[in-house]
């Protein structure tokens, strides 16, 4: 059996037993042996989150997203870790991105309900912030040039 697969399966067994540290060690080994496997990274992120190491889990999810930008599961795990680390606004953005990839996945709606509502007047959608900024800059330049 492939050593990466064996380490991954061992990690799954430890995870089911709620041996988070042992699961993390096995998933980390699987990641080292096959760093191009997003599922190994996502299981590592889950173990990190179970150990309340949410910041590390977020970084690992970002690695998985780089490998597979269409992985709704990576966005879900990242959003969960962000929310659990107190970053509700960022979590909302990430969870909405994941929901756009997999709109039938009910987990996104469930986790989005746990996010704080966006503050009035804020725009958290990716790309729209830049549009607002560009509009303001254009207005300032227009006013400045009229003087």
Question: Which whole number is the average pLDDT over 9-24?
Answer: 98
Higher pLDDT, 54 or 140: 54
Whether the per-residue pLDDT at 79 is higher than 60: the answer is yes
**b or e along 67-89 (b: 16 or more beta carbons within 10 Å of the residue's beta carbon)?**
bbeebbbbbbbbbbbbbbbebbe
Question: Which whole number is the average pLDDT over 20-24?
Answer: 98
* pTM of the model as a whole: 0.79
- pLDDT band with cut points at 50, 70 and 90 for residue 127: very low
């Amino acid at each position: 059996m492939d050593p990466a697969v064996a380490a991954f399966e061992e990690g799954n067994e430890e995870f089911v037993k709620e041996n988070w540290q042992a699961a993390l060690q096995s998933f980390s080994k699987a990641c080292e042996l096959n760093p191009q496997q997003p599922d190994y990274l996502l299981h590592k992120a889950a173990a990190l989150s179970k150990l309340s190491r949410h910041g590390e889990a977020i970084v690992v999810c970002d690695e998985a997203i780089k490998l597979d930008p269409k992985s709704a599961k990576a966005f879900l795990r990242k959003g969960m870790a962000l929310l659990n680390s107190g970053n509700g606004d960022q979590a909302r953005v990430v969870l909405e991105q994941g929901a756009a990839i997999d709109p039938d996945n009910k987990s996104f709606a469930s986790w989005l309900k746990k996010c704080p509502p966006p503050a009035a007047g804020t725009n958290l959608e990716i790309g729209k912030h830049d549009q607002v900024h560009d509009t303001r800059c254009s207005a300032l330049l227009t006013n400045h040039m009229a003087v």
